[in-house]
Amino acid sequence: MNQHDPDERARIRAAMDRLLAGQATTSNGSLTVVALAAEAGVHRMALIKRHADLKNEFYERVRTQARQTPEPERRLRETVTKLRKTIANQNAELAALRQLVAQLTLASAVLTNQAAADKPLSPAHDNVVPLRPPPP
């Protein structure tokens, strides 16, 4: 815990109380670190770096007292949901592409076989045995 400025810490705690009570005076009243810093009159980075314990306490109070999910956590959960959908879509596309590759490989083999069957065999030497009999 950092004790650089007890007055600053007291202002942050008072700002927490105001925001959680819905009585913001200098911020937009949202339950975010940015609003907390504005409400307390401190720089946002000071709150995040020097008073990380108060930032964590604020988010815990938002979770318990206001029964809300903190904004950064909510955004992360939305991002995770979007990424899971993207992964599911990509997996489905990958399965379809794998199936298409198998079908194209089979079609290529069939076409190659037909082309070889349509081509006349070259005269065989006496010591060469053809693998398939010549077409009728």
pLDDT tens track for 54-81: 999 998 888 888 777 777 788 888 999 9
pLDDT above 60 for 3: no
Pairwise CA distance, residues 55 & 62, whole Å: 11
Q: pLDDT, tens digit, for every residue of 25-60?
A: 888 888 888 999 999 999 999 888 999 999 999 988
Region for 55 from its dihedrals, namely left if φ exceeds 0, alpha if ψ lies in -120 to 50, beta otherwise = alpha
Q: Residue 31: in which H helix or E strand, if any? A: none
pLDDT above 70 for 128: no
Q: Which of helix, strand or coil describes residue 19?
A: helix
Residue 64: how many other CB atoms lie within 10 Å = 10
* Sequence-ordered strand ranges (E) for 14-78: none
Q: If you search the block for the tokens 């992360």, which residue do you land on?
A: 76
Q: Which of helix, strand or coil describes residue 1?
A: coil
Check residue 53 and give its pLDDT. Answer: 93
Query: Please, are residues 47 and 12 in contact by the beta-carbon 8 Å criterion?
Result: yes
pLDDT above 80 for 134: no
Mean pLDDT of the 112-131 span: 71
pLDDT classification of 95: cutoffs 50, 70, 90: very high
Pairwise CA distance, residues 107 & 117, whole Å: 15
pLDDT classification of 2: cutoffs 50, 70, 90: very low
pLDDT above 80 for 89: yes
Check residue 1 and give its pLDDT. Answer: 44
Region for 29 from its dihedrals, namely left if φ exceeds 0, alpha if ψ lies in -120 to 50, beta otherwise = left
Query: Please, are residues 12 and 42 in contact by the beta-carbon 8 Å criterion?
Result: yes
